[in-house]
A and B are shown apart, each in its own frame.
Chain A
Amino acid sequence: MPLSRRSILLAAIVAAAPLFAALPAHADALDDILKTKVIRIAVPQDFPPFGSVGTDLKPVGYDIDTAQLIADKLKVKLELVPVTSANRLPYLQTKKVDLVISSLGKNAEREKAIAFTAAYAPFFSGVFAPAKTAVKSAADLKGKTIGVTRGALEDLELTKIAPEGTDIKRFEDNNTTMTAFLSGQTELIATGNVVAAAIIARNPPNKPETKFIIKESPCYIGLNKDEPKLQAEVNKIIVAAKADGSLSKISQKWLGQPLTGDLPS
């Protein structure tokens, strides 16, 4: 039953999309933030190490630290809004948050709906499975069962590249996807490098290894379209944070390695 509910939900979002576009442009988001001295940022809570929870159920992680960094630089108070991958864009589009820092990848479909700032974190998506599973490319997925988180970038990409006869099982959040893989319900898992790293760190019997990379997609901060001032301001903060090493420090803390290479801006 949850399956059909979600499909209807997705249909509703798609149907509602023109409504979002029809909204009249109103006051500049940056002005509002500076005036109210509060920035509302959507962060994940089901996606360690980007966003997870501490013992007090408050969000912690790479994305939360990045959010804090931006709030500090803007000299405003940070209000964290925990979201899931299914509702993070509606939160932004209905202006319930100012920014989405939720390990958000960039793609053409999303670019139609929202705007992005420069990348702030490294990320790639791949297909992972135990060594004994013989899969080298998307074509080998035929007849195999693969788990993926619904609405995540891997879901969109996998749906495109998987051959007919692939049994794609979609789960509501990353952790369910992970649990399904660990318990053997799915033979393969399509997910991000960091999730795979978390699985490997736990040393399960069906220890996954990278079979092939679906897509390299660094994380961007999402914001509403037509907010050039906010976009420019956040970009300035990211560039400065990359230059002075504060972003690298966050990376070291949560991903275990400093920022390497160039993140696209």
Chain B
Amino acid sequence: MVQFTFWDILRNLLLAAQWTVLLSLIAFVGGAVVGLIVCVARISKNPGPRWAARIYIEVLQGTPLLMQLFLCFFGLSLIGLNVPPLAAAAIALTLYTSAFLGEIWRGCVEAISKGQWEASASLALTYPEQMRYVILPQALRIAVAPTVGFAVQVVKGTALASIIGFVELTKAGTMINNATFQSFLVYGLVALLYFALCFPLSLLSRRLERRLNVARAS
């Protein structure tokens, strides 16, 4: 049996953590961009985009991320499209994250009281102006906490990408564990690394909330 030193284990986990970070970044950025579009469509006054967004959200929230990954990687090959694993993961994670973020942000926008809409309308602001100057700045503040909360879930959710061949943090942990049989050490390190990734996000969230509140006070 191969002998792993502590350094071997840590080094391999750190290398694998890079994938976790990359996959998370893809999910955040892709999900935020598409999620914004979904959110705008979802609160649109036009029933066409509103229903399209509704169906998009229901389908993606109602199916497991694991299956979405699976279908993007193996399913697309079935119809003759050979997608590399990274592209498949990017597509699936973006779809999944955007559906959740779209819905989270819709909730935040709709949480702004009707009076704000009416007041801004009485100032003769157009719809984009109402959004830009009145509604979104207030919605943004409410959105920070749930968005970061979901982002932390996404970081952990990237572990599912191992089904399509990514050796990210969790997968590397499993592989090393069954070569070393030191479950406690290996999974302990895996958990610590996830914490090291997620905790700064929570800190950032707290700082953002404070800063956005200051903006209101001044």
By a beta-carbon cutoff of 8 Å, the part of chain A in contact with chain B is 2, 4-6, 8-9, 12, 16, 19-20, 23, 45-48, 52-57, 60, 81-84, 86-87, 90-91, 93-96, 173-176, 178-179, 202
Contact = CB atoms under 8 A, between A and B. Distances in A.
**8 tightest CB-CB pairs across the interface, nearest first?**
A175-B178, A94-B77, A5-B64, A55-B8, A90-B74, A5-B66, A53-B175, A52-B179
A19 B78 contact: yes
Given A45-B175, A82-B165, A94 B78 contact: yes
B56 interface: no
A5 B67 contact: yes
B71 interface: yes
Given A57-B167, A60-B2, A94-B77, A12 B179 contact: no
B12 interface: yes
A173 B1 CA distance: 19
25 contacts: A2-B66, A5-B65, A8-B63, A12-B70, A16-B74, A23-B78, A45-B175, A46-B178, A48-B1, A48-B178, A52-B175, A54-B179, A55-B8, A55-B12, A57-B167, A57-B172, A57-B176, A82-B165, A82-B167, A90-B70, A93-B74, A94-B74, A94-B77, A94-B78, A175-B174
A178 B179 CA distance: 12
Interface of chain A: mostly helix, strand, loop or mixed: mixed
Nearest to A12: B67
Nearest to A174: B178
B186 to A, nearest CB: 10
B75 interface: yes
Contacts of B167: 57, 82
Contacts, number: 88
B4 interface: yes
Contacts of A176: 174
Contact of A179 (B66, B162, B175, B183): B183
Interface of B: 1-5, 8, 12, 15-16, 63-67, 70-71, 74-75, 77-78, 162-165, 167, 172, 174-179, 181, 183
A178 B74 CA distance: 29
A176 B171 CA distance: 12
Given A12-B71, A53-B176, A96 B78 contact: no
Contacts of A82: 165, 167
Nearest to B164: A87
A8 B64 contact: yes
A81 B67 contact: no
A195 B57 CA distance: 44
Given A8-B67, A9-B64, A55-B2, A46 B175 contact: yes
A9 B15 CA distance: 29
Contacts of B65: 5
A57 to B, nearest CB: 5
A129 B69 CA distance: 37
A46 B174 contact: yes
A9 B2 contact: no
Given A48-B1, A54-B2, A55-B2, A173 B174 contact: yes
Contacts of A56: 12
Contacts of B74: 16, 87, 90-91, 93-94
B185 to A, nearest CB: 13
Contact of B181 (A8, A20, A173, A202): A202
A57 B12 contact: yes
